[in-house]
Structure 1
Amino acid sequence: MKPEDLQRLVTVTMPYGKYQGRLIADLPGAYLAWYARKGFPKGDLGNLLALALEIDHNGLKPLLDPLRKRR
C-alpha cells in the first residue's frame, strides 16, 4: 500500500458491475467480502478493493472522513 491509496479510495469509482460509479470507499462490506472470496481483479483496482475490505473489516472507515473533506 502506498499512502496515496487512501486518498484514491475516496476519489476512484467502481468502473463496472452492480456498484458502477460508487466510490470504492463506499462499497458495502458484503460486496468487498464477496470479491475477496471470488478473487480481486488484478492490478490497481484489485489492490484498492482489498484495501477497502481491510478498512471496512477493521471498522476504520471513519479514518477516511478527513480525506473526503479535502476533495
Structure 2
Amino acid sequence: MELDGLVLIELAHYKMPFGKYKDQYLVDIPEAYYVWFQQKGFPEGKLGNMMRQMFDIKINGLEPMIRTIQRDFRRS
C-alpha cells in the first residue's frame, strides 16, 4: 500500500456515508468493523478503497498518524 500526502489528508477526513457508523470518521470506527468487512467483502469503489486503506492503517498501529493529519491539515 502506497499513499501520498493528499490521499492521506482525504482519508483522514473521510466519513462513513451509511450504517451504524454514519458520519463518523473512518479512523474512529472500531477495527472489528473492518475485520467483518475484510471477511465479507468491502464495498466497491472509493469507499471500499478508503476502508481497505484504513484497515491496513489500523492493523499496523498507524492511527496516531491519521489523527495528526486531521489536526494539522484541515480539509478545505
* TM-score of the two chains, using structure 1 as the length reference: 0.89
**Which runs of 5 or more residues in structure 2 are unaligned?**
none
Deviations 1:15-54 (A, max 9, x none): 0011001011211100011111110011110000000000
Gaps of 5+ in 1: none
Match status 1:38 vs 2:40:
yes
**Percent identity, aligned pairs only?**
37
Aligned length: 71
In the alignment, the residues of structure 2 paired with residue 65 and residue 13 of structure 1 have an alpha-carbon distance, to the nearest angstrom, of 14
2:54 is aligned to: 52
Detail structure 1 runs of 4+ shifted over 6 Å in the superposition. Answer: none
Among residues 12, 20, 23, which one is paired with 2:22 in the alignment? Answer: 20
Paired AA for residue 7 in structure 1: I
Question: Secondary structure, in 3 states, of the residue corresponding to 1:52?
Answer: helix
Q: In the alignment, what sits opposite 1:11? A: 13
2:54 partner amino acid: A
Distance 1:68 1:11 in 2: 6
TM-score (normalizing by structure 2): 0.83
